[in-house]
Chain A
């Protein structure tokens, strides 16, 4: 079962969005997030919803996958909503016990929740349409101009690559260790939190030991394959910007300009 986990949340496809250069997609995501902070009323949010809906439609990733990304942060959204609803002073609309709801509060609550939801969906679109490995390549390439400032672009990308490669291996290892401990009568499910946390120690210790062993062997295997950092390295799949990437770039600029104009003019 543990072997089947897919990493990240890539949704395979061949759409226009999938085929965009990862660098363009990363920049687009950052621009989109910035635009969400430019928006200061519902018209702005509406434009942002429209733009996102268009990209989602083109990507052909089912909406349910997008919404899945919201689940883990549902509580945070709810918390933001409630906080804004009750805490913002202004014209009182309703009173419940000692709490008051104001018109401004209601407006802000919906506005902030909408912004948060768009932010999450917008960034999960990036990971849904980009393979983890391309994402890594994109980050490396975008960071490389900052290498002179001491940003270890290649090293960061290599770390991400190895992490992606070894998460399944370590999960398998964890599974093995847990089964071995359970066979000797270990119990991970019952008891209070402290007891359960304690029962994890016999898993973590061997897991760390095997992680260090793996790291040592891997480092040796990488050296044997002539790895010497990013210096002389070439890449098999050199990234190249296509016409569609420039088109996306122009659309992105238009979108951001539109958002700024909406804020200033309306």
Chain B
């Protein structure tokens, strides 16, 4: 399988404006994301998730180490547009990433910047809006839409650039439960269609839906593996002030009482199914 993102020994320091003090946000992270995969990155506030995402998009450049996206080195200025086109990004606040006061014009913004032909842009905009179920709202003003709908517009704007990978930085953090569900189901659909998904979140229930979970803590990778593997470290996860999914917690407690529960059970449905057949 070929690599979408390859991060080698990434270190990133911010310089605080008031006193020029260095704040190290990422301390030596190495990570490879394969094409077509679905990776969740989770960690508490300030653990460096957003900084990592911005390094993938060449919005920030490494203090040391290298980041390759689709084979391009993010530190090379001439490749920056290729990088941003191949790995698009969706941010947390839907309001502050929508540029135009008409939905379809906003979705067209990315392809327009890439210099795509007008008829092609039209087609991409229509396709993208249909992919996020917002085609019927294409003429509306974004400020009249709900949070979940706005975030879907932002996702459509990313898809319209025809990226191979989309990095989502806490796309559901500002949404109500309904909006959160809408956005998650679209993210899963995109993954099924072959787009590489990197989902940054602080909801463990969302991360559990990925193929791989990377837990970040204080600028480093603390745990990395399939959900089943990662949730084995229940105590370590709780020490980092993160929750494990309810089903994982339940199986941990049942296991403590001598009931043998397989490790790959991480969702409630799987748990219910297992318990019903348990003798």
Contact = CB atoms under 8 A, between A and B. Distances in A.
Given A165-B99, A169-B95, A224 B89 contact: yes
Contact of A214 (B85, B96, B112, B122): B96
B3 to A, nearest CB: 21
A226 B143 CA distance: 23
Nearest to B116: A234
Given A132-B101, A224-B88, A228-B81, A236 B115 contact: no
Contacts of B57: 224
Nearest to A158: B99
Contacts of B112: 233-236
Contacts of B95: 169, 214
A7 B104 CA distance: 18
Nearest to A163: B101
A133 B101 contact: yes
Contacts of B153: none
Interface in A128-167: 131-133, 161-162, 164-165
A221 B81 contact: no
Interface string B119-158: 0011001000000000000000111100000000000011
Nearest to B109: A225
A39 B115 CA distance: 47
B268 interface: no
B205 interface: no
B100 A226 contact: no
A226 B211 CA distance: 29
Contact of A225 (B113, B122, B144): B113
B59 A223 contact: yes
B47 interface: no
A236 B143 contact: no
Contacts of A133: 100-102, 105
Q: How large is the interface on B (under 10, 10 to 19, 20 to 34, 35 or more residues)?
A: 35 or more
Classify chain A's interface size.
20 to 34
B97 interface: yes
A224 B111 CA distance: 12
Nearest to A162: B99
A136 to B, nearest CB: 10
Contact of B91 (A132, A168, A217, A232): A217
Given A169-B143, A236-B125, A222 B99 contact: yes
Contacts of B108: 235-236
Contacts of B105: 133, 236-237
Contacts of A232: 113-115
A228 B57 CA distance: 15
A105 B109 CA distance: 56
Nearest to B114: A226
Contacts of A7: 101
Given A3-B143, A234-B115, A236-B112, 8 more contacts: A133-B101, A165-B98, A172-B143, A224-B59, A224-B89, A225-B109, A227-B113, A234-B116
20 contacts: A3-B143, A3-B144, A7-B101, A133-B101, A161-B100, A164-B101, A165-B101, A165-B142, A172-B143, A217-B97, A218-B96, A221-B96, A221-B99, A222-B99, A224-B57, A226-B85, A226-B113, A234-B117, A236-B125, A237-B118
